[in-house]
Amino acid sequence: MSLLVVYNACGLGDTENSESYIKNLRTILEQDLTDKEVVFSGCCVSNETFAKVYKEFRGDISYCLTNDKLAVNQSFNHAVLMSVAEFGEFDGYMYVASDVSFIDDPQSLGRLHDRMKDDEMGIVSPEIDEDNGYYWWFGFDQSQNLWDVFSRDKDFVVPLGCTANLHCKIFSNKIFKAYGNILPDIFVSYCTESTFSFLAAAVQQRFVIANDVSYKHGENAGTHSGLDGQTLAFGAGWDLVYPGARTVKEIVNDPEAFAVGFGHEEWVPRFAHKTDIPKDKTYLIHNSEQFDEKSFSVDDRLRDFIKNNLYLSKELLDYDEIKHKFIRSTT
């Protein structure tokens, strides 16, 4: 079982964060899981910052660098595609935000990855201590202690139409092969996570939050601003999409969306009273009749709908044409 771990850094905010990158990358390399490839994905990272990171790790990790102005969905996907071209397919593909650090438990990554041995496991997430999104999706009080949120007896299976913020997750090779990539790349700002339960269910897999691994998010705890900043490539906005892509409203209003079981931002009706929620915020409650007793899609229509509507065509973004430099690890 092999795991690709992509650590995602962005230099569009003109900040010099090499010290934090090095510290957080070190927590990944300190994990005992041997069958892993760690890639530093740097989008518009300065030469100064890269030089410091490279001096620290050299051939211990790989590097995928580009100066193309991309949102993290696209830069992460690009790093995955370039890594697969270099090493072949992996059993799991892990997204790690630049401000996530692993706990002082060298077996924690292995425990997460072991779950991918289950053919029905599509997305595996550790618990995240800050900005995890639980409040919006599960109604929990964010002031609760992290370890009191879910039962400690078993993993939490994320219900259809619910999710948790991205930050750190492993995606299956089945997801990669079904959609030709990992993250739905029409999104360039908020709302990607709303798709996750459907990505998995459409290929007869589950999305779980592990009961025995908790990782730390945030250099500035409680600010939600992120180490590198947020939405720097295209700006911030609900349902903001890559230039030229079909809008989320068009996708959600397509009768086929409900017919195949797709849902989007299903938390909205519960929070419509909040003053900071736009009155016209797009959402769609999924059609539960399109899923079986395991909450898996009953046919391939949801999978095809997602692939055709949530992933960019080559005409809009050809990953093969992104100018980049890939430096392969020597270990």
Q: What is the pLDDT of residues 241-255, one digit of tens each?
A: 999 999 999 999 999
User: pTM of the full predicted structure?
Assistant: 0.94
CA 77 centroid distance within chain: 10
Strand partners, 217: 100
**What CATH number does the domain located at 3-233+317-327 have?**
3.90.550.10
**Residue 142 confidence (pLDDT):** 53
In this structure, is the dihedral angle defined by the CA atoms of residues 161, 164, 167 and 172, taken in order, positive or negative?
negative
Confirm if 174 and 122 have CB atoms less than 8 A apart: yes
C-alpha 283/C-alpha 191 separation (Å) is 10
Confidence of residue 222 (pLDDT cuts 50, 70, 90): very low
Structure tokens at 77: 């996907």
**Residue 226 confidence (pLDDT):** 74
In this structure, is the dihedral angle defined by the CA atoms of residues 82, 87, 92 and 96, taken in order, positive or negative?
negative
3-state secondary structure of 57: helix
If you search the block for the tokens 């007793």, which residue do you land on?
293
**Residue 1 confidence (pLDDT):** 67
C-alpha 93/C-alpha 171 separation (Å) is 5
C-alpha 206/C-alpha 317 separation (Å) is 29
C-alpha 69/C-alpha 46 separation (Å) is 13
Question: What is the amino acid identity at position 228?
Answer: D
In the chain, what percentage of residues exceed pLDDT 70?
93
If you search the block for the tokens 């090499």, which residue do you land on?
18
Confirm if 241 and 247 have CB atoms less than 8 A apart: yes
> Higher-confidence residue: 168 or 219?
168
- Choose the weakest-confidence range: 42-46, 101-105, 226-230, 302-306: 226-230
**Residue 147 confidence (pLDDT):** 45
Hey, how many other C-beta atoms are within 10 angstroms of the C-beta on 34? 8
**Residue 220 confidence (pLDDT):** 47
Confirm if 12 and 234 have CB atoms less than 8 A apart: no
Confidence of residue 129 (pLDDT cuts 50, 70, 90): confident
